[in-house]
Amino acid sequence: VEFLYCDLASMKSIRQFVQQFRAKNCPLHVLVNNAGVMLVPERKTEDGFEEHFGLNYLGHFLLTNLLLDTLKQSGTHSHNARIITVSSATHYVGKLHLNDLQSRCSYSPHGAYAQSKLALVLFTYRLQHLLTANGSHVTANVVDPGVVNTELYKHVFWVVKMVKWMTAWLFFKTPEEGASTTIYAAVSPEVEGAGGCYLYNEKRTKSADLAYDEELQRRLWTESCKMVGISDEASRLP
């Protein structure tokens, strides 16, 4: 195991990380987009993005796009490279405000978090469409880990924390259990060559209806390219 530092809330850090990784000339067979914050108070990343949207979504959008060439070179017909992005059941109630992705007009921690998780599903489906269109040996899937007992809940109200402390053993998954579907998506032969799937409890299931809106997927992709400063043409996997 080798550690390379990468702060998903910093576009500069992401770019530096990709440079360091590329310099090693290593193949990249699996990329898991798993960093995230939840229900944080209104604040911005160093690049000026609302933190949920900037860290949970835009950081992974940029990282994935910068690593796509390496992923495509690493995948083969019999063993596709795999991109696994971790979303949440919260995306089912999420709304995407294309005219206010930074939640400047009205900030709600719950709304901002749900929007970032919906954006990750839309991104995955659009990415898989582009990968398929270009015949790349790379698949992109999105995972719902379920309700997991981690420090992600540190910003919830104290009453919720108390309930969580009392009931976690009954209702919450352990971190190991929460990671199972991500590991399944990363290594299972059952999903070899399959992309554009929403996975929960190691099974393919249906995501929110809104996530299948191809025009919304396309518009979010285009806007995301502008926000992180990459070419839309380059992002279309020429």
Residue 158 confidence (pLDDT) above 80: no
In a domain, 4, yes or no: no
Residue 167's domain comprises 11-228
Q: What pLDDT score was predicted for residue 41?
A: 86
One-letter identity of residue 121: V
Say which CATH number the domain at 172 has.
3.40.50.720
In a domain, 235, yes or no: no
In a domain, 101, yes or no: yes
Residues 6 or more apart in contact with residue 233 via CB below 8 angstroms: none
Confidence tier at 169 by pLDDT (50, 70, 90):
very low
CA atoms of 73 and 29, how far apart (whole Å): 9
Give the C-alpha distances (Å, rounded to integers) separating 57 from 77, 114, 149, 195, 202.
Answer: 29, 11, 22, 19, 23
Tell me what the pLDDT averaged over the chain comes to: 88
- Which tens digit of pLDDT belongs to each residue from 75-127? 999 999 999 999 988 899 999 999 999 888 889 888 999 999 999 999 999 99
Give the C-alpha distances (Å, rounded to integers) separating 59 from 30, 84, 166.
Answer: 17, 14, 34
In a domain, 162, yes or no: yes
Number of domains, the chain: 1
Residue 9 confidence (pLDDT) above 80: yes
CB 88 within 8 A of CB 144: yes
Model pTM score? 0.87
Q: Which of 57, 92, 113, 184 is catalytic?
A: 113
**Residue 5 among the catalytic residues:** no
